[in-house]
Amino acid sequence: MELVARLVGDAKSLTRSTQPGGAVTVRTVIRTIGFDGFAVLALTRIREAAARWHVPGANRAIRMTQMAIYGVEISRDAHIGEGVYFLHTSGVVIGGDATIGARTLILGNITIGNRNNNGYPTIGDDVVIGAGARILGPVNIGDGALIGANAVVVTDVPPGATAVGVPAVVRERRKQTLAANDGRSGE
């Protein structure tokens, strides 16, 4: 039942973040679970459950299915938050024990991985990771941050910040995220 509860939570969270106005109805949830991104998330939840239940061979079989059908490789030790949205699945690699926060939007061809064998990233909630981005090493990406397309992130990114370039540098703070986090209006 825990697996079903996680999948329902993922579907609701994903629906809220992808539907205009965040409307969660039976129709919008059904539309959401038809996305490839939800299928990737569902397969990840099944892998997690199979590991808890010690089902032999399930991890490899499901991992190979994710790679063959969706072009996504997610380590068995990665921690994926509720409602993570894989908008474009092709070329996504999440390695080691990387942590991805809730409602993070992941575009295609990204790598979240190791750098010099010294650890994996921790990504906060409500982060947007642009197409082609690389987030490498034991860096922390704050809640509400935006990682630009093709950015190579090797240092921490504060909450609400935008990181762009190679290597990535913080260019601006996202005012709407900061206002929501500290109770101020968009100053």
Q: Annotated catalytic, 88?
A: yes
CB atoms within 10 A of CB 170: 16
- Catalogue the long-range contacts made by 11-14 (C-beta closer than 8 Å, 24 or more residues apart): 11/38, 12/83, 13/82, 13/83, 13/102, 13/103, 14/38, 14/41, 14/83, 14/85, 14/103
* Residues 71, 94 contacting (CB under 8 angstroms): no
Q: Say how far apart CA 176 and CA 183 lie, in whole Å.
A: 10
Q: What does 63-132 look like in DSSP terms, one character per residue?
A: HHHIIIII-EEE-TT-EE-TT-EESS-TTEEE-TT-EE-TT-EE-SS-EEE-STTS---EE-TT-EE-TT
Q: At what angle do helices 2-18 and 26-33 cross, to 10 degrees?
A: 100
The single residue of 31, 76, 88, 115 carrying the catalytic annotation is 88
Give catalytic residues, as residue numbers. Answer: 88
